Amino acid sequence: MNYLFKAVLTEKGWQENVRITVDGSGTITKICPDAAGGNAEYIHGYALPGFQNAHSHAFQYAMCGLAECFSPGNTPGNFWSWRDAMYRVALAISPEQMENIAAMLYAEMLKNGYTSVAEFHYVHHDVSGKPYGNLSEMGERLVAAAERAGIRITLLPVFYCKGGFGKAANIMQRRFISASYQDYLQLFDASSVSVKYYRNASIGAAAHSLRAVEERDLIAASLLSAVYPFHLHISEQQQEIEDCIAYYGQRPVEWLYNHVEVNENFHLIHATHLNDDEVKAVASSKAHVVLCPSTEGNLGDGRFRLKDFRNRKGRWSIGSDSQIGLGYLEELRILDYAQRIHSHRRDTFVTGTSGNSGFNALEESWFGGKKAMGTPIADTFFEVGAPLDAVVFDANWPLLATASEKNRCNTLVYSAQQRHILGTMTDGKWVVKDGIHFSEEEINRLFVRSLHEINMR
Ligand SMILES: [Zn+2]
């Protein structure tokens, strides 16, 4: 199969009239810039590598908009009240409903140009808290949902033991809990089997947070980072930092770097509240931070020190987390604007050698995202031997059609909307074309049915 794109983004800028040939499995076999059409399908669009979603809790899609009503003077209206609402949803979902919610969510991600998702998955057990016969029942449903939607998935079964620093798990957390590290390893093994059922699924490891895992267990689990991407929530909320200091006498990132050999396979989710030493430690360890700007804004978390981190060559990626926002470019905008509002400057993504904000944001977040998936790190956006995963923007959109090469990425990052996406490809096939997902009707119908059953909206 041959495609001729009007233009394709490379690390060196845009190339025009690029013909990409894929084999029967969607792997790129040839890339020819300045090519003639021949027998290729012509695509009047600008192709970017498919976006990488480095942090997702699929079930939380069911609760978007459900935690915004407050009783004045009565409800705390903070992260922790949101978490109570999230626990209620987590306690309500059956495996079939989990699959239907995730399939809908993943289809929506594809419509927004995401082609890979790292699923940070912690709703493991049945509603009574008892493990399913298949320990990875829920994880397997997420893999099935990814296959139905046509997105690549890295399943991250999450190790979760406690209800807070020095606290036993509470009854609301009963679906999440592994009694010991040995129990977690059994779950991890079962999850490793589940990902074999879909050729675009892979496995990674995760611990929920310092507050949810005992010291010695976290140190043991982190050794999985020698082989797998290892994801961990950290320093999201001020309260969490105060609790960590009270319990360990150290801040979360400080504790982590004092007890664990942190390497480039670590993906620290949020890392919102870092002091100078922590910014330095994370950047120099080559660990990644996963930023989730729409969720962090929605939950009132705070602002990550991106500029300081980037000045130290810190590595980062983007996640949709609570799913309150699914637009990748919107995430980049929110991230940048929070920095601008704080600093009164407009050069968040500038480096010593490149001043092209949109390109820098796309490039850095994409490579960080690939790493979060556990994919062998690519040198280039599109390369022979890799699958053709792409999001294609409509060349008929007048703003884009008239943008110079220099301003094309900036036009996309700072002003494109979902409606400007012509389509999304995974494995060299259109999964979304002209705004329609290939399995739209069925995925929508089953999602609506499941949400009516859950009856919480
Ligand atoms: Zn999260």
pLDDT in tens, 400-410: 999 999 999 99
Residue 352 pLDDT > 80:
no
Residues 43 and 49 sit within 8 Å (Cβ to Cβ): no
- Residues 162-188 have pLDDT tens digits of 999 999 999 999 999 999 999 999 999
Angle, vertex CA 233, rays to CA 231 and CA 234, nearest 5: 125
Tell me: pLDDT of 3 over 90: yes
CB atoms within 10 A of CB 417: 11
Ion ligand 1: residues, Cβ under 5 Å: 321
pLDDT category of residue 20 using cuts at 50, 70 and 90: very high
Q: Does domain 51-373 have CATH number 3.20.20.140?
A: yes
Q: Catalytic one among 321, 336, 389, 394?
A: 321
Q: Is a pLDDT exceeding 80 seen at residue 378? A: no
Q: With pLDDT > 70 as the criterion, what percentage of the chain qualifies?
A: 99
Q: Give mean pLDDT, residues 76-96.
A: 87
pLDDT digit string, tens, across residues 386-429: 999 999 999 999 999 999 999 999 999 999 999 999 999 999 99
pTM flag (> 0.85): yes
157, amino acid identity: P
The set of residues, in sequence order, having a beta carbon less than 8 Å from that of 81 and lying 6+ positions away, is 67, 75
Mean pLDDT of 15-27: 97
Distance of CA 209 to CAs 148, 176, 351, Å? Answer: 30, 13, 32
* Predicted pLDDT at 377: 65
Q: How long, in residues, is the chain?
A: 457
- What's the gap in Å between 352 CA and the centre of ligand 1? 32
Query: Where in the chain is CATH 2.30.40.10?
Result: 2-49+382-441
Domain 2-49+382-441 in CATH 1.10.340.30? The answer is: no
**What one-character-per-residue DSSP string does 44-61 give?**
EEEEEEPEEEEEE-GGGG
Q: What is the model's pLDDT at position 75?
A: 66
Residue 82 has pLDDT above 90, yes or no: no
Task: List the Cα angle 111/117/120 in 5-degree steps.
Answer: 135
Q: Which residues pair with 326 in a beta bridge?
A: none
321 is catalytic: yes
Q: Out of 125, 270, 273, 288, which one is annotated catalytic?
A: 270
Tokens describing residue 224: 């999985």
CA 56 – ligand 1 centroid, Å: 7
**Mean local confidence (pLDDT), 243-257:** 97
- Output the pLDDT for position 69: 83
